[in-house]
Amino acid sequence: MNESTREVDARDRMLLQRMAAGDHAALETLYRAYHGGLCRFLSRLTRRADLIEEIVNDSFWIAWRKAGSFQGSSRVSTWIMGIAYRCGLKALRQRGDEPVDDYAMREGRGPAHDPDEDRELRDWLGKAMEHLSADQRVVVELVYGVGNSLDEVAAIMQAPVGTVKARLFHARIKLRNVLPLLGGDPPAQQQENAS
Amino acid sequence: MTIETNSGKDCAHAWEIMPWVLQATAPHEQGEWLMHHLAQCESCSAEFAQQSRLRSALSLAPDIAVDADAGLKRLMERLDMPEPKTLPARAWPRNRLAGALAVAVLVEAIGIGVLGARLWSDHTAQYRTLSQPALFEPAGAIRVVPATSMTLSEWNRLLHNLDLRVTDGPNAVGAYTVVPEGSPAQAAQLIPELRASHGIRLAEPIDDRP
């Protein structure tokens, strides 16, 4: 954990303490700090904005109620991500939905202010993610997007570290095979090296 | 699945550490080693470029628009709602059912306990022999064996005259346990009288047995 991460975690712990004492302003600060990251993370499970908002709010509802019992054995961010992951799976189960399989980015789905470069990158990512299972997408998001360690991903997904490692490995193999075909500027020999 | 790379073991190691170097969580020496390897290995360099691009793509803002202000407003409204209304409607019946079941199980357990204690008690009395002391023998108890020729009316009259009450018996050998109706201390005086009575074959204090 680097200095910046430590500082963020220390801030989050203080916010949790204030939340445990009933401080709504602390909840608002934490909500705004994590809203973007959680939405992006949950978009690997569902593409429905209304459902994402519901899951985010369910997660913070639980965080509000459990703030006083936070054990501190993990980072606050890991704790919140774990709550959100479980809330996400629960919400999908209750609706009889499966985590999104059709992950392809549709034309114009990105934010209106999306520069061309970002839009191209999103399209490239969407096509790549389409080849992964929901569990693999979540692991890739947590490792490459959020920057979690294998142990943290295991804690969030409540899965053995070995399982997480295997999901990451297989996701990377798939991406290694498909990314060169999706445009961008990878060298041609990449495909040859993938088994 | 085997990863075949141009430089074998080094490429496999490079593949392993790439995510953590990209995260900047790998040790500094590992990062330096990887950069050195990438400079020599075109294949790993390309792979690292792809992973860097993946990381950049994943760090973009979410592509699905979710209004944080609206969501926060709804969350705050939810917090302000009275507690019972925030719970699922079916939570109370479930809890009540669980409570009723718990009470039923408790009552049943108590009943079984009481019945078990009674059965245990009866069971103990049923197998008590003459040589065994009674478990709950009252103070001043006397063991009396009347002759078989003694009539019931003679037996009742004797008990009445000596102010005795039968608490147990007859057992397998026809012995009764009797106690003085008054003070237990009267037993010592009553035993000689019992022994002297017609039709009494044995009268012994139970407390005095070794």
Q: B34 pLDDT exceeds 50?
A: yes
Confidence of residue B119 (pLDDT cuts 50, 70, 90): low
User: Are the beta carbons of B4 and A193 separated by less than 8 Å?
Assistant: yes
Distances (CA, A) of B75 to A94, B79, B81, B83: 20, 6, 10, 14
Q: How far is B26 from chain A (nearest CA, A)?
A: 10
pLDDT of residue A188: 42
Confidence of residue B70 (pLDDT cuts 50, 70, 90): very high
Q: A155 pLDDT exceeds 50?
A: yes
User: Are the beta carbons of A143 and B23 separated by less than 8 Å?
Assistant: yes
Confidence of residue B130 (pLDDT cuts 50, 70, 90): low
Is A122 within 8 Å of chain B by CB?
A: yes
Please give the average per-residue pLDDT across B55-59, as a whole number.
88
Is A159 within 8 Å of chain B by CB?
A: no
Q: A164 pLDDT exceeds 90?
A: yes
Confidence of residue A105 (pLDDT cuts 50, 70, 90): very low
pLDDT of residue A102: 46
Is B65 within 8 Å of chain A by CB?
A: yes
More confident residue, A149 or B207: A149
More confident residue, B112 or A116: B112
User: Are the beta carbons of A189 and B42 separated by less than 8 Å?
Assistant: yes
> pLDDT tens across A71-97, in order?
888 999 999 999 999 999 998 888 776
User: Are the beta carbons of A43 and B76 separated by less than 8 Å?
Assistant: no
> Which residue in chain B is spatially nearest to A5 when comparing CA positions?
B25
Walk me through the domains of chain A, giving residue ranges and CATH numbers. Answer: 1-100 (1.10.1740.10), 103-186 (1.10.10.10)
Contact B148, B105 (CB under 8 A): no
> pLDDT tens across A115-153, in order?
677 888 888 888 888 899 989 999 999 999 899 999 999
3-state secondary structure A61-122: HHHHHHHHHCCCCCCHHHHHHHHHHHHHHHHHHHCCCCCCCCCCCCCCCCCCCCCHHHHHHH
pLDDT of residue A128: 87
Secondary structure class of B197 (helix, strand, coil): coil
The token pair that represents B60 in the structure block: 């973009």
Contact B190, B142 (CB under 8 A): yes
More confident residue, B136 or A156: A156
Is A6 within 8 Å of chain B by CB?
A: no
The token pair that represents B62 in the structure block: 């979410």
Nearest CA-CA partner of A4 in A53, A12, B131, B133? A12
Query: Phi-psi category of A114—alpha, beta or left, where left has phi over 0 and alpha has psi -120 to 50?
Result: beta
Lowest mean per-residue pLDDT among A13-22, A170-179, B92-101:
B92-101
Q: Where are the beta strands (DSSP E) in chain B?
A: 142-146, 164-168, 176-180, 200-205
Which ipTM value was assigned to this complex? 0.78
